[in-house]
C-alpha cells in the first residue's frame, strides 16, 4: 500500500530511464528499489538522505537494496581472507542500513527497517532464490552470459586493484558472485517485493545492464521491471553513461 505520509519537498535528482519500457514504468511511479552500495563513497550520509527524500516523494512505494553480505565476494577478490572479508562486509553493511533507516525515519516512514532489502531479508524470499539459482545456472552453462558477468566483474575490480593491475581469472570468478546475487533485483523486483511494477534506481549503468535491459542476454527482465539511472542535479554525468553495449 502507499506510504501514509505527506510527501516531503523533492530533492534535486534527475532520472534517466534505460529503455522505452523503463520510461513507461517510471511514468506510473508505482514502486522504486534504490540500490545503495557498501564501500562506495558516493553514498555518504547526506546523499542517502537526499535519495530517500526523492524516492518517497516520487513513488507510491519504495524499498532500498543493500548488497551487504554480497560484498564479501568483492573483498575476497581483491585479497581479503574469508573471515576478514565477512567481518568487513557485515560491519559496513550495517552502517549503510543504519543510514537508510535513519533517513526514512526522519521522513516519517512507518517501519523503516522493513523497507530495506538486505541479504538476510532476501535469503528467505522464494522468488529471489529461484532467480538467483537461474543466474548461477546460466553462468555455468551459457558462454555469452558468463562473459558478460565476468566483464561486469572486471569493471568493479578495476576501481579497486592497484593502477595498471588486471584482474586474474580467479579474481573475476570470485567477483562475479556479487553480480549474480544482485541480478534477481534487476530481473523481477515486483515478484520479490509483491508490487505490481518497479524500477531499480542506481547512479551508474554498467554495460551489463545495457545488455540485460536491451534483451541481449538469455535472461531478460520481467515486463514489469524497469531501470533508472539517477543523478543529483549538481553531479557530473558519470563515465559509465558512455559505456555503451
pLDDT of residue 158: 86
Question: Over the range 177-204, which residues count as b (16 or more CB within 10 Å of their CB) and which as e?
Answer: bbbbbbbbbbbbbbbbbebebbbbbbbb
User: What is the rounded average pLDDT of the residues 213-234?
Assistant: 93
Residue 154 CA to residue 101 CA, distance in Å, equals 32
Q: Is 35 helix (H, G, I), strand (E, B) or coil?
A: strand
Please write the tens of the pLDDT for every residue from 143-201.
999 999 999 999 889 888 888 888 999 999 999 999 999 999 999 999 999 999 999 99
User: What is the rounded average pLDDT of the residues 88-111?
Assistant: 96
Domains identified in the chain and CATH numbers = 13-235 (3.40.50.11710)
pLDDT of residue 233: 77
Contact 189, 195 (CB under 8 A): yes
| Phi, psi of 223, deg, nearest 5 | -60, -25
Q: Is the pLDDT of residue 244 over 60?
A: no
Contacts of residue 40, Cβ cutoff 8 Å, sequence gap at least 6? none
Question: Which of residues 90 and 235 earns the better pLDDT score?
Answer: 90
| Phi, psi of 224, deg, nearest 5 | -90, 5
Question: Which of residues 120 and 111 earns the better pLDDT score?
Answer: 111
pLDDT of residue 11: 57
pLDDT of residue 7: 42
pLDDT of residue 2: 39
Please write the tens of the pLDDT for every residue from 35-79.
999 988 889 999 999 999 999 999 999 999 999 999 999 999 999
Q: Is the pLDDT of residue 245 over 60?
A: no
Residue 199 CA to residue 227 CA, distance in Å, equals 5
Amino acid at each position: 500500500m502507499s506510504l501514509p505520509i505527506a510527501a516531503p519537498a523533492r530533492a534535486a535528482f534527475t532520472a534517466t530511464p534505460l529503455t522505452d519500457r523503463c520510461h513507461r514504468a517510471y511514468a506510473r511511479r508505482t514502486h522504486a528499489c534504490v540500490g545503495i552500495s557498501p564501500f562506495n563513497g558516493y553514498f555518504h550520509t547526506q546523499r542517502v538522505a537526499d535519495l530517500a527524500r526523492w524516492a518517497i516523494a516520487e513513488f507510491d512505494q519504495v524499498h532500498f537494496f543493500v548488497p551487504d553480505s554480497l560484498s564479501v565476494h568483492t573483498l575476497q577478490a581483491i585479497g581479503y581472507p574469508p573471515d576478514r572479508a565477512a567481518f568487513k562486509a557485515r560491519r559496513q553493511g550495517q552502517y549503510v542500513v543504519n543510514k537508510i533507516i535513519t533517513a526514512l525515519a526522519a521522513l516519517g516512514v512507518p517501519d523503516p527497517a522493513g523497507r530495506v532489502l538486505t541479504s538476510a531479508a532476501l535469503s528467505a524470499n522464494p522468488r529471489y532464490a529461484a532467480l538467483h539459482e537461474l543466474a548461477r545456472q546460466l553462468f555455468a552453462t551459457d558462454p555469452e552470459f558468463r562473459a558478460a558477468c565476468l566483464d561486469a566483474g572486471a569493471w568493479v575490480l578495476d576501481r579497486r586493484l592497484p593502477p595498471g593491475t588486471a584482474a586474474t581469472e580467479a579474481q573475476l570468478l570470485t567477483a562475479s558472485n556479487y553480480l549474480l546475487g544482485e541480478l534477481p533485483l534487476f530481473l523481477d523486483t515486483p515478484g520479490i517485493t509483491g508490487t505490481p511494477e518497479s524500477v531499480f534506481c542506481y547512479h551508474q549503468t554498467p554495460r551489463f545492464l545495457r545488455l540485460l535491459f536491451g534483451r541481449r542476454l538469455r535472461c531478460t527482465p520481467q515486463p514489469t521491471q524497469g531501470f533508472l539511472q539517477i543523478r543529483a542535479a549538481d553531479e557530473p554525468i558519470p563515465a559509465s553513461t558512455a559505456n555503451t553495449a
